[in-house]
Structure 1
């Protein structure tokens, strides 16, 4: 602050001096993802592609790639959730994908959670993972697998362990990014027994044909 500005503010009566605006409370709504959210989701994910090793992707995803993924998960009736600010901006997202295309794995999925940079450290990851687990249980899924980098993803490991994910294995030096070797940690959580099979189970059920 310049000296003359400081002196001018000192001469102002206290009730006329500008007070700093109070910080707005962090608020959001968690809902199913929609096509209008794709661009925000793409930007969130691509930040991690170019700046971290929490994803092993090295190339940014295009809008078309995310649209294809969205439509594929929608066809399988798998949960894809977003946390949205009152302004409509996506603050983070959580989804599950098929663990394998083989029909015997139809009740097992792999989860992914990513937060925008402005939404980290505020409990949003906890809220998204809780909502994702509940959505998976409603769909009749039985197992969730998390595959997490063994480097630079300590927060994600801690988050999953708080929700009862148990480490079931590790693979070392299976990825190479930013000039270094990376490994993966596998965690798994069992869900409550399904009340009914969801669309994913029906789509991947073995064919009765010969």
Structure 2
């Protein structure tokens, strides 16, 4: 097995992003979306993230995108400018191979380099042991559970909140400008 290339996603990856996410929309609980978005919509989402200077990365092996991860603004209000929310999705054949850890580690490193202070994971389904375990292994701590907040595939689904401090978290005031956010 070759080592996957972790690189920034581009417009050329839109079809692969849509296919990976679409599979997770239709067959999983990691997202509460129920209709897979098109490649064009996925590329718009990617562009919105990178417009903030945030990472949207893919894992590529033998020219094929097998997964992606990114950090998006947590909320639009200015006080949240030092906090992001991570997301990670893998193709079914990529699960259990360490690609999730490689992708999320790279996203966290990029966020830390930006001077950000908190990363929040909002994990769909408290039964999602793989995602909870990955986040725990990378230093995220439990922050709460929203019980039965979504209804998908015929059952109620929890949301697990986890959080990781970067750059000392709340130990000191931030020394960077953070993200530019324009919400109210």
TM-score by length of 2: 0.91
Separation of aligned partners in 1, 2:10 and 2:166? 26
Larger Rg: 1 or 2? Answer: 1
Going by fraction, where is helix more abundant, 1 or 2?
Answer: 1
Of the three residues 144, 151, 154, the one matched with 1:176 is 151
User: What is the DSSP-based 3-state SS (H/G/I as helix, E as strand, rest coil) of the residue aligned with 2:51?
Assistant: helix
Which shifted more, 155-164 or 26-35? Answer: 26-35
- RMSD between aligned alpha carbons? 1.8
Q: Which of 12, 16, 20 matches 1:40?
A: 16
Paired positions, count:
179
Superposed, 1:4-23 pairs within 5 Å as none
Instruction: Say whether residues 1:129 and 2:104 are aligned partners.
Output: yes
127 and 51 in structure 1: CA distance in 2 versus 1, 3 angstrom threshold: same
Q: Which has the higher contact order (CA 8 A, sep 6+)?
A: 2
Q: Where is the strand percentage greater, Structure 1 or Structure 2?
A: 2
Equivalences for residues 1-210 of structure 1 within 5 A: 25-86=1-62, 88-193=63-168, 196-197=176-177, 200=179, 203-204=180-181
Separation of aligned partners in 2, 1:95 and 1:67: 13
With structure 1 as the length reference, what TM-score do the two structures score? 0.80
Deviation at 1:206, TM superposition (A): 9.0
Pair 1:36–1:206, CA change in 2 (3 A): closer
- Give the CA deviation at 1:205: 7.2
1:71 match: secondary structure: helix
Displaced runs of 4+ in structure 1, greater than 3 A? 193-198
Q: Which runs of 5+ in 1 are unaligned?
A: 1-24
Q: Distance in 2 between matches of 1:173 and 1:186?
A: 13
